[in-house]
Structure 1
Amino acid sequence: MDKFLWLIPALPLGGFLILAFAGKYISRKAVAIVGAGSICLSALVMFAVGGAFLSGMPENAVYTQTLWTWFEVGDFNAKITLSLDALSLVFVFAITFIGALIHIYSTAFMEADRDYARFFASMNLFVFSMLVLVLADNLLLMYLGWEGVGLCSYLLIGFWYEQPANGAAARKAFTVTRIGDAAMAIGLFMVFQQAGTLVVSEIGANASAIWQPNSTSVTITALLLLAGGLGKSAQLPLQTWLPDAMAGPSPVSALIHAATMVTAGVYLVARMHTIFALSETARLVVAVIGAATLLLAGLTALTQYDIKRVLAYSTISQIGYMFLALGVGAWTAAVFHFMIHAFFKALLFLAAGAIIESLHHEHNMFKMGGLKDKMPVVFWTFLAGAISLAAVPLVSAGFYSKDQILWYSWSAGGGNAVLWAVALAGALITAAYTTRMMILTFWGESHTPIGHLPGRRMTMPLVVLALFSVFAGFIELPHNFGHFTLFSDLLHPVLPETFMKENIPSEWLFQLLAALATLGGIFLGYYYYYQKPSRIENLRRNGLVVQLHRFWFSGWAFDALYDRMLVKPFIYISSINKKDITDKLYTGIAAITGDMYKLLSRTQSGSLRWYIMGLVAGAILILGIQIML
């Protein structure tokens, strides 16, 4: 089946080309069939290729298919080669399967939009670019997909470009992620300069021979690669673009957060784990950034009114958990949480989109309420995603994936008590803002009348994702739950075993503490937003609480800080420099050209006598020159 590997990215690319060139000339039904059908076919091919791959493991742990040579320069040649191993299979599964559900949902959600074909063309290109990123066997081809998802995020975040705020959000996402991309490009140059190759498998096999453990060169290389991941995955200090990215349609938000762009940084660090494993400093930086991000974003989510911004900050926080796991060396735990997060975050965004559309595009949770009985399918599916996000013990997939990270943040070789305490606090905060979101949206009095209920094309993907959000966690049980480790066994040929400390306390104790943190967060949300909402009003009269709320609501004032330190100085310098010597040179050339035009235009008087005189004078001049010669 490896010979069909190319079809997985080719089908979305084909859908993009058809819609880009012929989308204006075909019916909306045909657009939906091409747009959603190409991704569904890609998912079917993925299941066939993935099934053959799994049945052949571990004897055939990698599928490789070289399509053509991209270019050759001296001894360097770059090939369009696709490579499928256990790690990329997990990501391809999430991209195609969840992407297919999002596309089916979109056929109904975007049905009334005038740019129906442009939307699906951009979505198909998004999926294609992400598939190239995770299937590339070399870092140069990966970088092509990396930049492709950046382009598509710009196209889709600013999809409704008539509104200036949407265009500004798209430009912000493109600019902020470009900072990380530039650092990553330098990192790729360093990898090639030191390793002599960009082929991922060759780098992984020879990493210990190329770099000395904890050397300056390996640390700098790892940190440059990390910078690229921080930009795409919206981690500190490059997290500011993602909340504003909610300007795009809800299916775009689901695709970005669950299956494509935001997860690219997690994939990059996991894929290049052999480099990070050689630098304790780089791993510590990854873990600290992840821990700080999950705490900062969680507290910010507690203060938001817009349901999509709550989910956006939630994504930043959950990706922070994945970076924390990567930093302590719990590679498989990070990838496991990625997969579970993809299910419940896609579900939550799609359900939120259904709510927003039904309530006449209302985003403010305080203007919702009373939807539990009016939208039962959306309520129960949203609840499934919410309990998984909050990691409710035993009954949610999110519990099993997040429990691993909490456990390893203490017990893994790179873990410690501080990282564990931050992760535990994040679990309590996550449960609190999730409960707040559920109560404000579905309980209490109705503040906005329902326009229309979502149809089957929108609810069917919600039901499928809800089932996975509840039951997918059972493929990887904790050590003390029978140690059923299907997921770790799958990734073992690609990612190393997590190094555990010796003489660690019982895992039962840590699970009990994690469960208490989750239940405590649920209780706080229930108490303050359902049982005693008057307490919130009392808190709002406290000046310190008001200032703290304002600070958290602004995303810890990062936008204001960057605006003051970077944006305004750049604009000021540009305004001074706009008439420098270079501009004067080109302005002078333009002025001379203009003057010559005016001079030559005088010869076009419209008088026939002057034209004849000019011809005669020219003829006499030419004859005179010839006689003289």
Structure 2
Amino acid sequence: MSWIVHNLWLVAALPFAAGGVISVMKQRQRTLAAGLAVGSMALSFVLALMAFVQVLTSHGEATRQFSNFAWFQFGAEWVRLGWLLDPLTAVMLVMVTFVGLLIFIYSIGYMAEDENFKRFFCFLALFAGAMLGVLIANNLLLLFMCWEIVGLTSYLLIGFWYEKPSAAAAAKKAFIVTRIGDLGLFLGMAWLYAQTGTLLFYDAGRGCLEANALTTLAMHTTVFGLTLSSAIGILIFCGSAGKSGQVPLHVWLPDAMEGPTPVSALIHAATMVAAGVFLLARVYPLLSAGVTHGMTTTVALQVVTWVGAITALFGALVAVAQWDIKRILAYSTMSQLGYMMIGLGTGGVSVGMFHLITHAFFKALLFLGAGSVIHGCHGEQDIRFMGGLRKAMPVTFAAYSCGMLALCGVPLFSGFWSKDEILHSAFVWNLSRGPFYIGAIGALLTAFYMTRQMIYVYAGTTRLAAESTHGEHGHSGAHESPKVMTVPLLILAVPAVVLGFFGTPVWPWFQSFLEGDTANVSFGALGGAFPLMIVSSLIVFVGLGLGWLLYGRKLIVDVGALDRIESAQPGLFHLLSGAFYINELYAATVVRFTLVAASVSAWLDRWIFGGVVRAISTIFVLFAKVDSFADTHVVNRGFDAGCGSVSYGGSFLSKLQAGKVQRYLKFVGVALFVAVALLFWGGKA
């Protein structure tokens, strides 16, 4: 076993250590704090590259190596943890550390004026360490512990500007909603341990993802005829749905935009939301357990596919009618995560993960580009108050355009290849064509809403001088961001363009790498995929064309003008801008029920349970008073009287023992006289 496998824990430990050191530093040590955070991520990136090379140069079974150790013992059982290096881990480590490093560097410029600069980098480092811990874990318990730290640090980062009520509320919302999903994950984890006796993924044939355990889980059924593997897999998917913002646990994700933009990029691109998809990819053998030649899928994979399809369409529809530049991207992220779920459910790990990797780069580019726009527009986030930024911010515009084209799936950009593979897998899915049609509509909408955003933000003339939605006057001009922010954008633009070529039908290197095979160039494979590529390309261009027809032919000048869709279909636009009023629905049902239940519980606690307690206490107080009266006026008085009698008797008897002989003789004489009298009286009687 190589050195990097034994020491893979260092990849996560370095950011953790940096976060710990930064936490005890003084507030004014800003440069040192940023240096420690960036340095730790740079070292983790180097270690991730070493791990990647290790897997890349291995063959067969050697592509999966693990190191397990005993943690603690309870009874006769040992809890064992460990870390795992396989192609899935290796590619995720490189992506997370590289994108994370660029976001860390970008944050130096974006947060330069923030008074809590040091605290921000402390939270960033802890967040990165937790995410890397999720990736290397060879044990579902260890993964769950790191998973929860990710949830905690995301709460701290989303609510970083806690003085804003909206940020504090968004942080609490994200924390609570994701915990709801995590409850399902915890139950699935407990059930899996009860059935297999271990939470180690791989352990020389004894792991819960290895053949023996999977065969047992697939052979036994539970409620509704579900196999144990599918039932446990669906519970684990609940945790993934919460982290990855899948319907109906998606409501936290758009509100998470209240955090600083680097946080949005980190959470919505490479790390937190990707963790849910990664978890499903990690436990994919469990989700697919029992698949035979006669059955091409399982109930768990069907659930994943349909939830992903609904989410993909939902997010794309809502993004059409948003005004906040980051909120558009947030709903876009939600939609793209749905595509990843479709890919996992219909095509397997390589299909879903390919889109996850490409999406991480171009969505990080888009979020950081949005942050650059916000920085250049003096804090403005409403796209109605932008415009004309193509000339004012040329570097940001060029980089952002690459990300936009990749997200839309324009041919030759990275998103085209990964999204096309998902659509192809959905098209050949033998259960239904529904996910394919939903995905195709979502692809058209993606091109449409991104065209709308680009025209509002970059085309025409600036509208910054108009009054903002917050009642404040905007600034007269935008400016390009500093190089510490624009250089990461340019770096991310490169993989946004070229990364897709590592997974084309002609050369499916990425897919082969994840499966541990050797990729071969095959131009014949292009023939089978070419018709669907043409269809998907036409869908994208139709979306781009519709966006240009509605918004590009007549540019927006007046910030108060209605959106073109709003003017044509106000009811539909308001429905989409309100995100189908899911938040309001939850507020009227789940939240209200919770509040009513809390009120009833408080009433029961105060008047029923509390009343019983008060009644019992009153009875016992009454008993105590009766006891006190009896003790004071009966027992004590009787005892005092008895004590007085004894004292008087003692006093009297003491007088009989005064030590005077003549008195004793008198008593003897009197006693003798009495005795004689009694004898005489008795004899006479």
TM-score range, shorter chain: 0.7 to 0.9
Question: Contact 2:565 / 2:573 at 8 angstroms: preserved in 1?
Answer: no
**Match of residue 125 from structure 1:** 126
Letter paired with 1:29: T
Question: Contact 1:232 / 1:264 at 8 angstroms: preserved in 2?
Answer: yes
Question: Contact 1:234 / 1:242 at 8 angstroms: preserved in 2?
Answer: yes
**Match of residue 53 from structure 1:** 55
Question: Contact 1:86 / 1:494 at 8 angstroms: preserved in 2?
Answer: no
Q: 1:218 to 1:29 in 2, by over 3 A?
A: same
Question: Contact 2:80 / 2:200 at 8 angstroms: preserved in 1?
Answer: no
Write the distance in 2 (CA, Å) between the matches of 1:129 and 1:220.
Answer: 28
Write the distance in 1 (CA, Å) between the matches of 2:25 and 2:70.
Answer: 30
Task: Name whichever of 426-435 and 75-84 sits farther off.
Answer: 75-84
Question: Contact 2:387 / 2:460 at 8 angstroms: preserved in 1?
Answer: yes
**Match of residue 78 from structure 2:** 77
Write the distance in 2 (CA, Å) between the matches of 1:537 and 1:250.
Answer: 26
Question: Contact 2:408 / 2:415 at 8 angstroms: preserved in 1?
Answer: yes
Letter paired with 2:323: Y
Question: Contact 1:86 / 1:493 at 8 angstroms: preserved in 2?
Answer: yes
Q: 1:527 to 1:82 in 2, by over 3 A?
A: same
2:421 equivalent to 1:408: no
> Aligned to 2:575, which of 546, 551, 566?
551
Q: 1:213 to 1:586 in 2, by over 3 A?
A: same
Letter paired with 2:451: T
**Equivalences for residues 160-559 of structure 1 within 5 A:** 160-201=161-202, 202-206=207-211, 207-212=213-218, 215=221, 216=226, 217-278=228-289, 280-394=298-412, 396-413=413-430, 416-448=432-464, 449-450=476-477, 452-478=479-505, 483-493=506-516, 506-532=528-554, 539-542=565-568, 545-559=569-583
Write the distance in 1 (CA, Å) between the matches of 2:517 and 2:608.
Answer: 58
Letter paired with 2:350: T
Write the distance in 2 (CA, Å) between the matches of 1:17 and 1:110.
Answer: 20
TM-score by length of 2: 0.81
Q: How much does 1:76 deviate?
A: 3.5
Q: How much does 1:536 deviate?
A: 7.2
2:602 equivalent to 1:578: yes
Task: Report the secondary structure of 1:203's partner residue.
Answer: coil
Q: How much does 1:268 deviate?
A: 1.2
Task: Report the secondary structure of 2:461's partner residue.
Answer: coil
Q: How much does 1:102 deviate?
A: 0.3
Write the distance in 2 (CA, Å) between the matches of 1:181 and 1:200.
Answer: 19
Task: Name whichever of 440-449 and 514-523 sits farther off.
Answer: 440-449
Unaligned runs of 5+ in 2: 290-296, 465-475, 519-525, 622-642, 648-685
Q: 1:241 to 1:494 in 2, by over 3 A?
A: farther
Task: Report the secondary structure of 1:199's partner residue.
Answer: coil
Task: Report the secondary structure of 1:373's partner residue.
Answer: helix
Question: Contact 1:347 / 1:465 at 8 angstroms: preserved in 2?
Answer: yes
> For residues 348-386 of structure 1, what are the alpha-carbon distances to aligned partners after superposition, in whole Å with 9 as ceiling and x for unaligned?
000100110111110111110101011111000000100
Write the distance in 2 (CA, Å) between the matches of 1:541 and 1:212.
Answer: 55
Letter paired with 2:487: M
2:11 equivalent to 1:8: yes
Write the distance in 2 (CA, Å) between the matches of 1:505 and 1:103.
Answer: 43
Question: Contact 1:476 / 1:485 at 8 angstroms: preserved in 2?
Answer: yes
Letter paired with 1:184: L
Q: How much does 1:539 deviate?
A: 4.8
> For residues 224-260 of structure 1, what are the alpha-carbon distances to aligned partners after superposition, in whole Å with 9 as ceiling and x for unaligned?
0111110000001101100000000000000001111
**Match of residue 42 from structure 1:** 44
Write the distance in 2 (CA, Å) between the matches of 1:537 and 1:457.
Answer: 35
Write the distance in 2 (CA, Å) between the matches of 1:573 and 1:493.
Answer: 53
Letter paired with 2:550: Y
Q: How much does 1:170 deviate?
A: 0.4
> For residues 517-544 of structure 1, what are the alpha-carbon distances to aligned partners after superposition, in whole Å with 9 as ceiling and x for unaligned?
00000001111111146997665344xx
Write the distance in 2 (CA, Å) between the matches of 1:376 and 1:462.
Answer: 12
Letter paired with 1:484: W
**Match of residue 500 from structure 1:** none
> For residues 139-165 of structure 1, what are the alpha-carbon distances to aligned partners after superposition, in whole Å with 9 as ceiling and x for unaligned?
000100111111011000000000111
Write the distance in 2 (CA, Å) between the matches of 1:412 and 1:451.
Answer: 49
Question: Contact 2:392 / 2:479 at 8 angstroms: preserved in 1?
Answer: no
Unaligned runs of 5+ in 1: 496-503, 597-623
Letter paired with 1:22: M
Write the distance in 2 (CA, Å) between the matches of 1:556 and 1:57.
Answer: 50
Q: How much does 1:223 deviate?
A: 0.9
Write the distance in 2 (CA, Å) between the matches of 1:280 and 1:4.
Answer: 37
Task: Report the secondary structure of 2:321's partner residue.
Answer: coil
Question: Contact 1:370 / 1:443 at 8 angstroms: preserved in 2?
Answer: yes
> For residues 57-107 of structure 1, what are the alpha-carbon distances to aligned partners after superposition, in whole Å with 9 as ceiling and x for unaligned?
3352123234x5332223432234111110111211121110000000001
Letter paired with 1:282: A
Letter paired with 1:63: Q
Write the distance in 2 (CA, Å) between the matches of 1:230 and 1:50.
Answer: 28
Q: How much does 1:457 deviate?
A: 0.9
> For residues 175-206 of structure 1, what are the alpha-carbon distances to aligned partners after superposition, in whole Å with 9 as ceiling and x for unaligned?
11111100110001111111121111212212
Write the distance in 1 (CA, Å) between the matches of 2:340 and 2:45.
Answer: 25
Q: 1:51 to 1:170 in 2, by over 3 A?
A: same
Q: What percent identity do the matched residue pairs reach?
A: 37
**Match of residue 159 from structure 2:** 158
Task: Report the secondary structure of 1:243's partner residue.
Answer: helix
Write the distance in 2 (CA, Å) between the matches of 1:204 and 1:450.
Answer: 57
Q: How much does 1:3 deviate?
A: 3.2
**Equivalences for residues 72-151 of structure 1 within 5 A:** 72-151=73-152
Task: Name whichever of 418-427 and 232-241 sits farther off.
Answer: 418-427
Task: Report the secondary structure of 1:111's partner residue.
Answer: coil
> For residues 294-333 of structure 1, what are the alpha-carbon distances to aligned partners after superposition, in whole Å with 9 as ceiling and x for unaligned?
0011010000000000000000000000001111133201
Question: Contact 1:35 / 1:120 at 8 angstroms: preserved in 2?
Answer: yes
Write the distance in 2 (CA, Å) between the matches of 1:527 and 1:303.
Answer: 16
Q: 1:539 to 1:205 in 2, by over 3 A?
A: closer
TM-score by length of 1: 0.87
Task: Report the secondary structure of 2:82's partner residue.
Answer: strand
Question: Contact 2:347 / 2:426 at 8 angstroms: preserved in 1?
Answer: no
Letter paired with 1:573: A
Write the distance in 1 (CA, Å) between the matches of 2:25 and 2:14.
Answer: 16
Question: Contact 1:527 / 1:533 at 8 angstroms: preserved in 2?
Answer: no
Write the distance in 2 (CA, Å) between the matches of 1:43 and 1:249.
Answer: 24
Q: How much does 1:218 deviate?
A: 2.4
**Corresponding residue pairs, total:** 579
What is the alpha-carbon root mean square deviation over aligned residues? 2.6
Task: Report the secondary structure of 2:590's partner residue.
Answer: helix
Write the distance in 2 (CA, Å) between the matches of 1:540 and 1:585.
Answer: 55
Question: Contact 2:459 / 2:555 at 8 angstroms: preserved in 1?
Answer: no
